[in-house]
Chains A and B, each alone.
Chain A
Amino acid sequence: MTKYLTAPLSKEDCADLRIGDYVYLTGTMYTARDAAHKRMIETLDRGEELPVDIKGQLIYYMGPSPAREGRPIGSAGPTTAGRMDKYAPTLLDLGLGGMIGKGKRTQAVSDAIVRNNSVYFAAVGGAGALLSKSITASEVVAYDDLGTEAIRKLTVENFPVIVVIDSKGDNLYATI
């Protein structure tokens, strides 16, 4: 099913999504990958607050190439989500709304998705030039020193993703 949704997603939207749904997202999302996740979890371990409020938000596992002059961002496709599996359940339990990446997740992540009525989307890996056309603005909001791995707030318009794990725990890859 093809859907056009506003990001961040509402809990009702999440509950309605099913594996294989092709979704165009419009709104805002945050980027974070390996180094930012490590730092976020260390921050939480110290009992401190995260630099951005992730409640209900989408995290896109992505580190862009640099933007040329006059452009919001460079190439901007998904990175392999599995490397964030160690950190994702903690963030989901803190209220993270959903994740966008590519590739397999662990059972622990899938369980956390079900527990929190969340979602895992895949974007097409290796289509970074095309995907960048759906990003209209990008601003570094934390961890600037991490370069491409900084946390960015993206504004997106009809950003294409596919539901891979839904809130019932079904997994699109497992059906293949």
Chain B
Amino acid sequence: MREVDLQVITDTIREMCIEVNHNLSPDMKKALDDATNKEESELGKKILGQLQENLVIAKEEMIPICQDTGMAVIFIEIGQDVHFVNGNLEDAINEGVRRGYVDGYLRKSVVDDPVIRNNTKDNTPAVIHYSIVPGENVKITLAPKGFGSENMSKVYMLKPADGIEGIKASIISAVKDAGPNACPPIVVGVGVGGTFEKCAIMSKKALTREVGVHSEIPYVKDLEIEMLEKINELGIGPGGLGGKVTALAVNVETYPTHIAGMPMAVNICCHVNRHIVREV
């Protein structure tokens, strides 16, 4: 058994919040570079150039990449041989988010109740997905999610008879609906299988997979490649103002499901697809 001091979890999450909002991960930077080379529309090229300039300013001058520094979504994988000491885990995570967002001059975008809507003023609480895994490490993935793109995400309760064609049609329909609203070029996270909530969580998790890395399941990899091509034929383009680059990646996760169903979710993320991983 290994003891982990929760202060370390808080400090780590604080740092992750600040880092991820100022410095896009190398996979996303590379995807934007490639996109700039591929784009043919003049305006599209200009916008992609601005996005790259934006990243440089964000990093050098410590100004968040986007003003919507998101709601903090955290996937935490806890080794079953870990024993946390010095408090409770959920409080430690939220304290990390609180300090990160306050100390890091990040925007506080969370309200305490969906109807009453008072801002909590420190961006807490986070949305936390826990899982228990073998071992004695703690792996934290933080993905702050902006709501311009979150609002364009969808769950579809498809039927088995809809097959892979149904999945393809749903992805295209969600991306078309999102259009310029989700700050294209986008990253598309897809979860297929499981249950209503499982597919939604998978679609979020899919966004944290490195852009450019494909599924190990051959038909899923083919689906990812084909969907990216089809989406980029839609012509939505950077900023939704026309062009060849509408999406940077399509990441699909799957899970076993029930004989009677094929739930799927499409979680759309903008080009500010922030994700960062730390192990404690």
Q: Identify the A interface with B (CB < 8 A).
A: 20, 22, 35, 62-68, 71, 74-77, 79-80, 82, 102-104, 122, 124-130, 132-133, 146-149, 160, 162, 172-173, 175-176
Q: Which residues of A contact B51 (CB under 8 A)?
A: 124, 126-127
Known A80-B151, A102-B180; further 9 A-B contacts with Cβ < 8 A: A102-B148, A104-B181, A124-B50, A126-B54, A127-B51, A127-B53, A147-B119, A147-B121, A176-B242
Chain B residues near A (Cβ < 8 Å) = 43, 47, 50-51, 53-55, 57-58, 61-69, 105-109, 117, 119, 121, 146, 148, 151, 179-181, 183, 235-237, 239-242, 270-272
CA distance in complex: A77, B58 (Å): 13
Residues of chain A within 8 A of B242, CB atoms compared: 175-176
**Contacts A74-B64, A126-B65, A129-B63 hold; do A64 and B148 have CB atoms under 8 A apart?**
no
Whether A76 pairs with B67 at a CB distance below 8 angstroms is yes
Query: Could you tell me the distance between the alpha carbons of A176 and B242 in the complex, rounded to whole angstroms?
Result: 6
With A63-B107, A65-B67, A103-B181: A130-B236 Cβ-Cβ less than 8 Å: no
**Contact call B54/A128, Cβ cutoff below 8 A:** yes
Majority-rule SS of B interface residues: loop
Residues of chain B contacted by A124 (CB below 8 angstroms): 47, 50-51, 239
> In whole angstroms, what is the CA distance A144 to B33 when docked?
40
Is A65 within 8 A of B240, CB to CB?
A: no
Known: A74-B63, A76-B67, A126-B54. A104 touches B179 (CB 8 A): yes
Known: A102-B183, A147-B121. A66 touches B63 (CB 8 A): no
Residues on the A chain within 8 Å of B63, using CB: 65, 68, 71, 74-75, 128-129, 132
- Tell me whether A128 and B64 are in contact in the complex, defined as CB-CB below 8 angstroms, given that A103-B179, A147-B119 are known contacts: yes
Residue of B nearest to A123 (CB): B239
Selected contact of B69 from candidates A65, A122, A162, A176, CB within 8 Å: A65
Closest Cβ of chain B: how far from A145's Cβ, in Å?
9
Q: A80-B148, A104-B179 are in contact. Are A126 and B271 (CB under 8 A)?
A: yes
A23 to B240, CA, bound (A): 17
Are the C-beta atoms of B180 and A103 separated by less than 8 Å?
Answer: yes
By a CB distance below 8 angstroms, the chain B residues around A148 are 67, 107-109, 119
CB pair A122–B105 under 8 Å, yes or no, is no
Which residues of chain B come closer than 8 Å to A82, judged between CB atoms? 181
B148, A130: Cβ atoms under 8 Å?
A: no
- CB distance B54 to A127 under 8 Å? yes
Residue of A nearest to B117 (CB): A35
Contact A79 B68 (CB under 8 A): yes
Measured between alpha carbons, how far is A75 from B58 in the docked complex, in Å? 9
CB contacts (< 8 Å) of B47 on chain A: these are 124
- Please give, as numbers and ranges, the residues of chain A lying within 8 Å of B105 by CB-CB distance: 65-68, 74
Roughly how many angstroms separate A63 CA and B67 CA in the complex, as a whole number? Answer: 7
Contacts of A133 in B (CB 8 A): 57
Given A75-B63, A75-B66, A103-B180 in contact, is the A130-B54 Cβ separation under 8 Å?
A: yes
Task: Report whether A128 and B67 are in contact in the complex, using a CB–CB cutoff of 8 Å.
Answer: yes
